Structure 1
Amino acid sequence: MTRTDSSAFAERLARAADQVGALLTQLLSDEPRQHEQTRPTRLLAAMRHGVLGGGKRLRPFLVVETAALFGGNPQSALHVAAALECVHCYSLVHDDLPAMDDDDLRRGQPTVHIAFDEASAVLAGDALLTLAFDVLSDEACMLPAEVRIGLVQRLARAAGIGGMVGGQALDLAAATDAPDEAGMMLMQAMKTGALLRFACEGGALAAGAGEKDVARMSRFGEIIGLAFQLADDLLDVTSDLATLGKAAGKDAGRGKATYVSFNGEAAARRHLDSLVAEACALLEPFGKDGRILADAARYIADRSH
């Protein structure tokens, strides 16, 4: 697998992170928006802690770069990216709760329920999820109403019972009823992969790409979602707290089913390489315009945290 050290990739990843961070800061301002009564101070602070505390902003980057690949409006793409990041961060806030994964650290900082309290964390997650659909449906997104409706539906399905939340439910059930390898792959495709798939297809939809190109980018997102989870599983068995910014070795400690536990580290690394190769092959029709997304696929596999 060709490793990426592309300065262009690093710059564009950082730029997308800065841009979506600025928009999220604006969306989480103190001033109530139209039809809102007030914005409770502690709730807003917990939401900001959950969504403005750093992170790679990989999902927003994928939205922005996929939209750019098809000539989309950058501001529209940023709104879709911000909505997706709200969903992603809400899921982290809730996943970290004692009733779920019970984590004290996220991105090297106290998780929301540690920095505030459990009730505030639940409400912050609820509010971030709701905000996502506010952002997508708003005319400020500068997309036709039918496109916004389509994006709302796709994000809802990627995030909901048949997507991320359903995947988390399967993950919880696996603690008492261990899945086979196929069940484990399905769970991970839902829990982790669904939002990464949406990032790529959502960016294409926001840019007005044709049906075949949307399907191509949906498949690209699906593959890098699998690669992301596989890289995560490998990091859990090879990394440490200082590098990850959260506890390492938790999967093995809980006897959790992963591709690594079923097939071993060497086979997992070979499979990861094959996923990246497949993702890059999907971008070949776009020539040099697809290179930044190919770099993203390699980055997902190569990352250390």
Structure 2
Amino acid sequence: MPLSFFSERIEAAIADAVGMTQSGMPPAQLTSAVQYAAAPGGARIRPTILLSVAMACGDDQPAVTNAAGAALELIHCASLVHDDMPCFDDADMRRGKPTVHLAYSEPLALLTGDSLIVLAFDVLSRQSPDRALPLIRHLATRTGTPFGICAGQGWESESEINLSAYHRAKTGALFIAATQMGAIAAGQDPEPWEELGARIGEAFQVADDLRDALYDEVELGKPVGQDEIHNRPNAVTELGVDGAVSRLKDILGGAISSIPSCPGEASLAKMVQATAKKLIPSSKLNRVPGE
């Protein structure tokens, strides 16, 4: 299944979700900021993984899958809005355009992130309870603390960082949510899918470190060198470029091997490979594991 197929489903689901904020008489600037933050421009990797897992498991209720994918991406968009604010990274570019706090103001950026979080759970709450409740629970677990992206951000305020917990929460949490929510959306047990999400999240972190080291701001669409500026752990700093590339290959190989047995196992492995190619600097990798 081409990645463009997932893109069409994801963008339509996100547009439907954001459209919910326009009913009644909402404040115009906040509504515009929410649309701006959730607009196409990102890779949509997390919902792509979610939809891929759901399809590999049968995808018997596509509307639930679409809602789950939209909710997950809305949480990710919210985290980017908050991460970019002056109290955290103080970034001026995201996805090739001004960050929300620069385009709209700091108060509106804070409200935008909050609105996107609430909207994500609103979207899930409208689905059938037998799947909505576990989807809400898993997304909440991977959003808050102690295991979610809020915990990941919180580790940066500690005097000593537990590197494994930091990476698993800040980067890995929403990838674990992606694989487990994909299984739940298709009516399957989410537990066997945790390892795949964790491995993809770890791979994404290493790939992001490589991109930060090798690309410039125009290529990335966001500021580079943030880890060095904020004294954060970085795979390239610790392992060098070649070491980080080698580590990335190992992680991706393990990710493909960890895919649980399911009807669409082979197609899912190809999707992981295709997604990896979008993340990894092609000049540094000769091939993706599993090809």
Q: Which has the higher mean CA deviation after the structures are superposed, 238-247 or 260-269?
A: 260-269
TM-score by length of 2: 0.89
Q: CA separation in 1, counterparts of 2:253 and 2:246? A: 11
From 28, 47, 59, give the equivalent of 2:34.
47
Alpha-carbon separation, structure 2, partners of 1:28 and 1:297: 25
- In the TM superposition, what is the alpha-carbon distance from 1:296 to its structure 2 partner? 4.3
Offset, 1:32: 5.1
1:96 aligns with 2:84: yes
Give distance in 1, aligned partners of 2:153 and 2:20.
32
Deviates more, 1:246-255 or 1:154-163: 246-255
Q: What's the CA shift string for 1:110-154, capped at 9, x where partnerless?
A: 01011110000000110000000000110xx3x3x1321111111
Query: What pairs with 1:188-267 in structure 2 (closer than 5 Å)?
Result: 188-209=167-188, 211=189, 214-267=190-243
- In structure 2, the residue matched to 1:290 is 268
In the alignment, the residues of structure 2 paired with residue 68 and residue 109 of structure 1 have an alpha-carbon distance, to the nearest angstrom, of: 33
User: TM-score scaled by structure 1?
Assistant: 0.85
Mark the runs of 5 or more structure 2 residues left unpaired by the alignment.
Answer: 283-291
| Superposition deviation, residue 300 in structure 1 | 5.8
Unpaired stretches in structure 1, ≥5 consecutive residues: 1-7
- Cα distance in 2 for residues equivalent to 1:294 and 1:31: 33
Identity %: 33
Which residue does 1:3 correspond to in 2?
none
In structure 2, the residue matched to 1:156 is: 140
For 1:106 and 1:206, the matched residues in 2 are separated by: 30
Match of 2:255 in 1: 279
Question: What is the 5 A alignment of 1:55-94?
Answer: 55-72=42-59, 73-94=61-82
The Cα shift of 1:188 comes to 1.3
Contact 1:178/1:257 (8 A) holds in 2 = no
User: Structure 2 CA distance, aligned partners of 1:130 and 1:302?
Assistant: 32
> How many angstroms apart in 2 are the aligned matches of 1:206 and 1:216?
14
Residue 99 of structure 1 aligns with an amino acid whose one-letter code is C
Q: Which amino acid aligns with 1:20?
A: I
CA RMSD of aligned residues (A): 2.0
Mapped to 1, the partners of 2:207 and 2:157 lie a distance apart of: 21
Q: What is the aligned partner in structure 1 of residue 11 from structure 2?
A: 21
Shift of 1:206: 0.9
Assess if the C-alpha contact under 8 Å between 1:192 and 1:229 holds in 2. Answer: yes
Q: Aligned partners of 1:31 and 1:161: how far apart in 2?
A: 27
- Kept in 2, the 8 Å contact 1:17–1:56? The answer is no
